Amino acid sequence: MAPISQSKGKVLVLGDDLRSFLSVIRSLGRRGLRVEVGWCAPDCPARFSRYVSRFHVLPPYSAKDSGWKLAFKRLLQSEDFDLVIPCDDPRIIPLQFNRAELEPLARIYLLEDRAFQITSNKLASHQLAKELGVPVPRSVQLSRLDSDRLEGFGLPLVLKPLSSFTRENILDRNRVRKAYSYEDAVAALDRMLIAGPVLVEENFLGRGVGVEVLANEGKILTAFQHQRVHEPLLGGGSSYRRVVSLHPELLEATRRLMRALDYTGVAMVEFKLDPATGRFVLIEINGRFWGSLPLALSAGADFPWFLYQMLVLGKREFPQRFKTNLYCRNWIADIDWFRTIPNRRGWRFGNGFEQSGSGFAARSRSGCSQSLRCGPGRAGLLAAPSGRPKQCCLFAKAISVAARSRRRSLERC
């Protein structure tokens, strides 16, 4: 994409969550841009941010009905946006597969087709990594249930759909599962294979680490790294993260991947790193804005603003140093993480709080993800562990801190 001759300072942001979507809104709004949003639920809290100038009602995507496309084209024709930014897969996929019709009407942030095809498919990402000499976990692809092929892997097993969403179904997320017995693995695979092939991986022991980059034509312009502190025992996104210094070998592996993809845009390349041995493996490439984006923004790595400057203003020089020793917690998800500890052998609820280290420290930020005014969020907070007086007090303290933190977050929206 060539920079435009004169920017209007107006962007359209598409999404429906309180992590990447809200973070992009805040980032660009704080820089003085006019932020308009669309393709989100009318009651999505992010759309009530002080930085949102206008909310556009758009029909939901349907692979069988072109009504959404006609409405979207009318919007792009009637408005003059510098940039359209879809923040998640359910918004990216429809635009990616209809780019030929939409891109003549506006500048839309989308990956080149080859980069999209590889980053949105875990098997394709791993095959590219192998070609480049980037380590990946040992794995096998299953298209049908075959329990004999599981025996060669130790426990737990990591079960991954090839893609989180498909063009035909952008409403139901295909989630990663972790099975602690072969019986659980067979039961999970029986359900997961209905949606398509599944990648069965060995469980590499190590810390989850993300290398976040802005790249242009395969060249990394700036990079940032975070480490997972609390990870769900059954798989999925982390609830508690911290900023760490860039790991030279992980950065070099990321550099190889970006160069091979001729990548232009933002990405979060996820690894597992064993700090004791230094060994690491690639987990996946997130070719979009990521859930831990609030941590990067708190540290000064303003990726949405960097992206706008690169695509719209043609800038190529960006900051290289960011704050360190900074933590960010998704309170609702982290309380759920604490609650899973008693159900796992060798863990106790109290130990979870002791492990959280600087969780209540001044340098810990709240990653806005759910509103306490919502029923499910409130219900999740009220379900405290029973029969453990000390742990119940800690849990109540966490709820109190979470409530105050969430109120402050919503007031800053």
What CATH number corresponds to the domain at position 101? 3.40.50.20
Per-residue pLDDT band for 4 (boundaries 50, 70, 90) equals low
CATH code, domain carrying 145: 3.30.1490.20
Amino acid at 315: K
Cβ burial of 237 (10 Å; 0-12, 13-18, 19+) is middle
First to last CA, the chain: 31
pLDDT at 335: 85
Amino acid at 111: L
Based on the fold, state whether residues 181 and 256 are members of the same structural domain: no
- Answer for the pair 392, 383: CB distance below 8 angstroms, yes or no: no
Domain assignment present for residue 95? The answer is yes
The number of folded domains in the chain is: 4
CATH number where 279 lies:
3.30.470.20
| pLDDT tens digit sequence for 200-226 | 999 999 999 999 999 999 999 999 999
Q: Quick check: is 149 in a domain?
A: yes
- Do 215 and 187 fall into the same domain? no
Task: Give residue 190's domain range.
Answer: 138-202
Structure-block tokens of residue 253: 């592996």
Residues 233 and 346 in one domain: no
250 plus 322 within the same structural domain: yes
Listed residues 261, 295, 327: the one ending a domain: 327
Which residues, in sequence order, are CB contacts of 51 under 8 Å at separation 6+?
25, 26, 28, 29, 30, 35, 413
User: Same structural domain for residues 222 and 313?
Assistant: yes
Asked whether residue 120 is assigned to any structural domain, the reply reads no
**Taking 50 as the threshold, does the pLDDT of residue 347 lie above it?**
no
User: Which of the listed residues 202, 236, 253 is the one where a domain comes to its end?
Assistant: 202
**In a domain? residue 128:** no
180 and 215 within one domain: no
- Exposure on the CB side of residue 329, measured as CA atoms within 13 A: 24
Q: Are residues 40 and 99 in the same domain?
A: yes
**Digit-coded pLDDT (tens) for 289-342:** 999 999 999 999 999 999 999 999 999 999 999 998 899 988 888 888 887 765
Amino acid sitting at position 390? K
